[in-house]
Amino acid sequence: MTKLNSRQREAVHYIDGPCLVLAGAGSGKTSVITRKIAYLIQQCELPARHIAALTFTNKAAREMKERVSSLVKGTAARGLTVSTFHNLGLNIIRREARILGYKPGFSIFDAEDARALLKELMLKDGEMDKDHLDLVQHQISTWKNDLTTFEQAEAAAVSQAEKTIARVYQRYNQALRAYNAVDFDDLILIPVHLFQANPDVLTRWQRKIRYLLVDEYQDTNSSQYLLVKQLVGSSGALTVVGDDDQSIYAWRGARPENMSLLKQDFPQLRVIKLEQNYRSTSRILRVANHLIAHNPHEFDKALWSEMGLGDPIRILRCPNEEAEAERVAAEILTDRIRHQRKFRDYAILYRGNHQARLFEIKLQQHQIPYRISGGSSFFAKTEIKDVMAYLRLIVNPDDDNAFLRVINTPRRQIGTSTLEVLGQYASERHISLFAAAQEIGLQSYVPEKNVERLQRFTQWLTQVARNCAGDNPVSAIHSMLTDIDYEGWLHQNATSTKAAEKRMENVHYLIESLQKSLDKSADDNEDEETRIEDAIAKLVLRDLLERQEEEDLSDQVQLMTLHASKGLEFPHVYMVGLEEDLLPHRNSIEDNNIEEERRLTYVGITRAQKTLCMTLAGKRKQFGDIADTTPSRFLDELPAEDIEYEGFGESSPEKNLAKGEETISSLLSMFD
DNA sequence: AATCCTGGAGTTTTT
DNA sequence: CTCCAGGATT
């Protein structure tokens, strides 16, 4: 899209104050952000290093960077910040580590690390079972996202249980401190607290970031919004782009009300709506608009397009989930041939990952190539976690979590009793496990043989760390892996040789990424020395780890959750499982979260460019037995005149629907 | 240290 | 029904 429409142009050119761009699905919001960055650099002559754009995912940041550099010629775009919130937070903490009291090389705990730590803390406390673990972890995360300190949490606690969780929260934070570690939520929270306590530091950052742009603003949580407010200060140099109708992450702390909050916090806010859609047919948009109109709205918005009326939306009711999958697979097969389309033109979207299974089987049966996105991530793989733990320990010996993961991987004949004593020794002296393992005093508590083993380990690792500090850290890491014969360990543990080879390949890929990260920061980091610490920290945030994007080249049907589909588009979309308890999901019905489920459905519908087909199964096997299903209430909220129904009874549904009264549920009760 | 057994859950997910 | 985690058992 080379030409901007008048609304888009207004959004790009308006720089006299804070600006909220209400960008409907497919309205070219990324264009607006990238063009605005180019405009600021080229027309307003604002140096790129004073501009920052924030996204939620690395992928979005990467794409935005690419698009900006294709718009801005030469070196003018150098120094531009396009990063995720978390990456910006990481940079701030790294730069201000001294003030904050973190040693360089601090660790970043992901959700799993945090969970392991919490588990330990709660076990020491006694009587806390696994149920609580999830709850506590979630609660602490919520508190952090809402900027609630443990003092506030404790003061606000009404029940004994809440008081207990608040205390775990306190001890959890203390433990993180002791390990020289931060968790994901801290990456935002710590900068916010820093800026609150040190106005001069904030001023420094405000001078650095003179214009701020935020993508997917409806997904910000409270602490992220506060960070934005702090950085913008009174300058009003802010553009945010978002769509309240596509807010589907409230369950992980997103506050869509941050959009209306913006109006209060910045009274001079200019609101610009982008309603022209460049993706879908009018029919698809009509259906989407009709559905979302059932939600209350702060900002009204109606999408329209010039892409033609398009085919009616089809709603298919299949006898059961097997027939549903079969039908979709068969349709894709014949439709592709008949219309000379590609497999990659089709997407199958569902609410939950487990739904993918049946479709996978059916697609395989028909020999249809497919790709499932989502599922277990690269970083969840054990071999990656192992190697990352080694890397973390090299850089930060105080990271007890990493120590515990690594100490017996591969086996070093250090038993649980030795580790228990070591842990006690360490906590009495307020030192890390690694430090404790090196102490002479340990000999009076642990058999000599075990002390030797521990010390052999710490000495070896210290040497590895020294090697890594040299000029070829990557080769130091390679020889470390050879030292421990990690490959042999993988073969020993894997179910097959092939699996072990695959795992080793993953490890090599990880190290390659590390090398790339080091090369890159050597290239464009004028100010600071290249540090392996930084590269490892970035790896934890999955930055610089471009997943092999062969998927773009290959011709495969796309399978993914509705959540994962946000921001993408497909010519032909199948949304499956439109049943009560599935979409809307049962838990959401129970928690009265129907509006978010409706938005999720809206997101799905607006992914489609040309055709959209929604399916449901009349009977579905769940939790062992087969039950009748109820069609999703959202199907009743679509305009019947744009829809073709199939499988809802013998006689023609149009006859009934002509009256415009009948809902799917009433049709069902008539004919079933 | 490895394997078997039992029980409980069974949405969405990025950083 | 099916999968996983964690505990118990060998």
Q: What averages of pLDDT result for each successive group of 10 residues across chain A (672 residues)? A: 87 96 94 96 95 93 92 89 95 93 89 84 64 81 91 88 86 91 94 96 96 96 96 95 94 90 94 96 96 92 94 95 94 95 95 91 91 73 86 92 86 83 89 92 87 92 93 92 89 77 85 84 59 82 58 81 93 95 90 92 96 94 85 94 87 41 51 42
Question: Is position A520 annotated as part of the catalytic site?
Answer: no
Cβ(A432)–Cβ(A361) under 8 Å?
no
User: Residues A453, A412: contact at Cβ < 8 Å?
Assistant: yes
CA distances from A59 to A23, A227, A384, A517, A568 (A): 19, 22, 20, 16, 12
Query: In 3D, which of A616, A655, A662 has the Cα closest to residue A639?
Result: A662
**Alpha-carbon span A160 to A140, nearest angstrom:** 16
Q: Which of A607, A610, A620, A633 is catalytic?
A: A607
Q: How far apart are CA A181 and CA A533, in angstroms?
A: 13
Active site residue A215: yes
A12 touches A31 (CB < 8 A) = no
Closest residue (CA to C1') to nucleotide B1 in the complex: A411
Q: Is A216 among the residues known to form the active site?
A: yes
Return the pLDDT at A661.
Answer: 43
Q: Are A548 and A373 in contact (CB under 8 A)?
A: no
User: CA A188, CA A662: separation in Å to the nearest integer?
Assistant: 50
Nucleotides of B under 7 A from a protein CB: 1, 9-15
Single out the catalytic residue among A7, A8, A29, A65: A29
Strand C contacted by A655 CB (< 7 A): no
**Residue A249, CA distances (Å) to A255, A294, A575 in order:** 8, 19, 19
**Tokens of residue A390, six digits:** 């080694």
pLDDT of residue A565: 93
Q: Would the Cβ of A488 be found within 7 angstroms of any atom in strand B?
A: no
Query: Residue A47, preceding bond cis, omega within 30 degrees?
Result: no
What's the pLDDT at A637? 95
Q: Which two tokens stand for residue A20?
A: 């909220």
At A544 the pLDDT is: 57
Task: Name the nt closest to A119 by C-alpha to C1'.
Answer: C6
Structure tokens at A666: 């009433």
Residue A623 beta carbon within 7 A of nucleic strand C: yes
3-state SS string for A293-338: CCCCCCCCCCCEECCCCCCCEEEEEEEEHHHHHHHHHHHHHHHHHH
pLDDT score of A543: 61
DSSP state of A371: E
CB A536 within 8 A of CB A181: no
Which residues does A45 contact at the CB level (< 8 Å), separation at least 6?
none
What residues are paired with A642 via a beta bridge?
Answer: none
A561 CB-to-strand B distance under 7 Å: yes
Q: CB neighbours (10 Å) of residue A510? A: 21
Check residue A474 and give its pLDDT.
Answer: 93
- Annotated active-site residue in A215, A245, A533, A534: A215
Please report, to the nearest 10 degrees, the dihedral formed by the alpha carbons of residues A216, A222, A225, A229 taken in order: 170
Residues 605-644 of A with CB under 7 A from strand B: 623-624
The rounded distance, in Å, linking the Cα atoms of A399 and A395 is 9
Nearest residue to C1 via alpha carbon and C1': A624
A183 touches A93 (CB < 8 A): no
Tokens standing for A220? 């910000």
Nearest to A214 by CA among A64, A416, A77: A64
The whole-number pLDDT of residue A268 equals: 94
Q: Where are the alpha helices (DSSP H) in A340-447?
A: 356-365, 382-395, 400-407, 416-429, 433-437
User: What angle, rounded to 10 degrees, do the helices at A416-429 and A448-469 form?
Assistant: 70
Q: Which two tokens stand for residue A617?
A: 């199964």
Supply the angle between the helices A186-197 and A85-95 in degrees, to the nearest 10: 50
How high is the pLDDT of residue A625?
80
A624 touches strand C (CB under 7 A): yes
Specify whether the CB–CB gap between A329 and A369 falls below 8 A: no
Bridge-based pairing state of the strands A304-305 and A313-320: unpaired
pLDDT of residue A510: 87
